[in-house]
Structure 1
Amino acid sequence: MPTMKVLAVDDQEFNLDLIDLAFMDNPSIQITRAVNGREALDVLAADAGYSVILLDLAMPVMDGFETLSRLKAHPLWSKIPTIVVTANSEEKHRALREGASDFLSKPIDVEELKLRTHNYAKIKEYQDYLGDMNRILEEKVHERTTELQEALAFAKKTEYEISARLGKASEYRDMETGMHIKRMSHYSAKLAELAGLPPEEVELILYASPLHDIGKVGIPDRILLKPGRFTPEEFEIMKLHTVIGGRMLETDGSYPVIDAGRIIALQHHEKVDGTGYPAGLKRDEIHMHALIVSIADVFDALSSQRVYKKAFTIEETLEILRQGCGTHFDERLVHLLIENLEAFTAIKEAFPDEEESPSIMSLIDQLQ
């Protein structure tokens, strides 16, 4: 049986001897003496592992009430059951109000002393056990939470990587560059941030926007790679890349990046006046993610050089965006881009086309 340590605090030697004698036949109870409150606190400062404190109230140096107050203010000592010993009924009521666990009346009934002390020692033992169990459970929960967070982070990283790879697949099907994908995804994230979207949604757009043209993998080369203007029939086929992209990215809703990519792929050619495709959606019918990506995509396409066109100047690009306000583009988002142009030009400078590896078209030309 484990030892239960009891701290007996009394200025009368006789009372302390009586307590010692009461527990002589119980080797599981170990008594430590203190002759006043100050000495008791010194004992506890050296070892707080006591099961019960037997506390006299009338003592010199530091009386029982002051001692009780100090005990209850301490994070460890406050958990030790304290039984006050007094002959004054008013004092015992006050002691109970101030946090004492129980009381013993003087003269002490030895049998009652033993029973109450033993019972409170067992209560303390159970409390310590529960505390240890709670601590162990908290540690286990922390471990499992950490493992879960790591698993979720890996799953998110994997989903981001898949999105980036799929975006790169669409890049190799037409004459866009990989840097276009990077620029427009960062443009989209910056515009989402300026629009007041929460950080997690800004991050979502950053990784979902590269999927905007994934549906182009389903467009025949004779149309997708045509250097000149499309015929009306060809343009109708070209517009299907939005629907194809939406179908390619259909999920059960378990993949946030892919789900956001589906909406962007399906709606990034919609216009706020309802003249866009594929569904002719208007304003609030178009998802905010698609409205943002639409502007970012056009901003980069206009301001970048392609094999089929020269780059527009920033001023020319902004003028085209202004002209499209209220018809093609959301006015507020265009104004946010214009008002924060330095942030977008910094992104443009960070991902210049000349640092990109050769496009698929240049590789084909080399082979020919």
Structure 2
Amino acid sequence: MVDRLTVLVVDDTPENIEVLAGALGDEYRIKAANNGQVAIKIAQRQPAPDLILLDIMMPEMDGYQVCEILKSQPNTAHIPVIFVTAKISAEDEIRGLQLGAVDYITKPITPLVARQRVKTHLALANQKRELYLQVEEQTKEIRQSKLEMIQRLGRAAEYKDNETGMHVMRMAHYCFLLGQACGMNEKEATLLKNAAPMHDIGKIGIPDGILLKEGKLTNEEWEVMKTHVEIGADILSDNSHSELLQMAYSIAMTHHEKYNGQGYPKGLTGEDIPLVGRIAAIADVFDALTSERPYKQAWSNERAFALIEEEKGAHFDPMLVELFLSMREQVLEIKSRFKDE
């Protein structure tokens, strides 16, 4: 059996509540409140009413005030409100609609009219809810598709010097871990995790002869290698309206900067380097050290952690280093989870 929808009737006169309850009780579950404060409390409970019939003229808090409060709160803003009133001017009607009400029912109440108005607006609310869910699902799919494309784009660059491309996954999760540890909320840290895989996208533009060279690069080759930052920035472009691409641009531009100003491309120092760049620097270097490359063997975890600590205040933000070192177990768990095949 399908649960009946719930209608909240708000009126300071018991007889009016009885009339509406009698008109609607056969089809809907009825809840009642005799003042605005009680109505708001009932509306905030879960499950919330599906529709509210709201008297305007009530003592202490009138219907307009109640409606304004309900529409200002995320957990009640979606509930359709129909004002019930004995007399109303055009100005009052406009005011109510501007506050978010969907309709009016005039007193004395005609049961058939009340039933039809309630039925109509519940149907409209249901259609709106279904449409919202469909749009949300489609938006979620689009968002997921974009995210997968971005992740694959990031891995495409890593495949040039990393056989499996798992570096970007580890690095992204190190960033998420460190982001949360330094105070980012879930949304901010997730955005960082999703943007981090694009940090070295500019490597796509570096010749294989330099990128895959075994042994030390010449000065000329190193200058070419450093241009991957600008290449990445050109690919990501800082004028995008996407928060994700804006953060990815910032990371790509600044993850090779050093806290002491000896990094590149701009020689930024300290907190002039964006936080996401400072976080990415630690995550990127740790994973690069502990991963095998054509030009080197993988370092041990202990040696890599020691290097991170040695570079505190020089290459890396001291506060972030302390946080990173305090989370060794979580870092190694990520390293193990996304190990190269």
Letter in 1 for 2:299: F
TM-score using structure 2 length: 0.66
What percent of counterpart residues are identical?
Answer: 37
For residue 119 of structure 1, report the CA deviation from its aligned partner: 6.7
Relative to structure 1, the CA distance from residue 252 to residue 135 in structure 2 (aligned partners, 3 Å threshold; closer, same or farther) is farther
Alignment-derived partner of residue 218 in structure 1: 205
Alignment match, 2:108: 120
Q: Does 1:274 align with 2:261?
A: yes
Contact 1:163 1:257 in 2 (8 A): no
CA distance in 2, matches of 1:300, 1:129: 65
CA displacement at 1:335 relative to structure 2: 0.9
Task: Give 5+ residue unaligned stretches, structure 2.
Answer: 1-17, 28-33, 43-48, 56-84, 87-105
What's the counterpart of residue 243 of structure 1? 230
Aligned to 2:313: 326
1:309 alignment partner, SS class: coil
Map 1:91-110 → 2, pairs under 5 A = none
Taking the aligned partners of 2:316 and 2:24, their CA distance within structure 1 comes to 73
Aligned runs of 1:228-307 on 2, under 5 Å?
228-250=215-237, 252-307=239-294
Paired residues of 1:167 and 1:181 also in contact (CA < 8 A): yes
Corresponding position: 1:156 with 2:143? yes
- Does the 8 Å CA contact 1:302/1:311 hold for their aligned counterparts? yes
Instruction: Name the larger-Rg structure.
Output: 1
Flag structure 1 segments of 5+ consecutive residues without an equivalent: 1-40, 51-68, 82-100, 103-117, 356-368
Give the partner amino acid of 2:108.
Y
TM-score (norm 1): 0.62
Distance in 2 separating the partners of 1:184 and 1:346:
13
Question: What is the Cα deviation at residue 284 of structure 1?
Answer: 2.2
Shift in CA distance, 270/299, structure 1 to aligned 2, threshold 3 Å: same
Instruction: Write the distance in 1 (CA, Å) between the matches of 2:232 and 2:202.
Output: 4
Q: Per-residue CA shift, 1:13-44, capped at 9, x if unaligned?
A: xxxxxxxxxxxxxxxxxxxxxxxxxxxx9xx7
Q: Distance in 2 between matches of 1:145 and 1:47?
A: 27
Query: Would the alpha carbon gap of residues 79 and 293 (structure 1) be closer, same or farther in structure 2, given more than 3 Å must change?
Result: closer
1:183 is matched with which residue: 166, 170, 176? 170
Q: Aligned pair in 2 of structure 1 residues 142, 230: CA closer, same or farther (>3 Å)? A: same
Q: Deviation per CA, 1:113-142: give whole Å up to 9, x if none.
A: xxxxx97244x5444444334323322321
What's the RMSD between the two structures over aligned residues?
3.3
Contact 1:159–1:255 (Cα < 8 Å) also in 2: no
Question: What's the CA shift for 1:345?
Answer: 0.6
Query: How many pairs are equivalent?
Result: 256
Aligned to 2:60: none
The alpha-carbon deviation at position 213 of structure 1 amounts to 0.8
Give the whole-Å Cα distance in 1 for the aligned partners of 2:319 and 2:299. 23
Change (3 A) 1:326 1:120: same
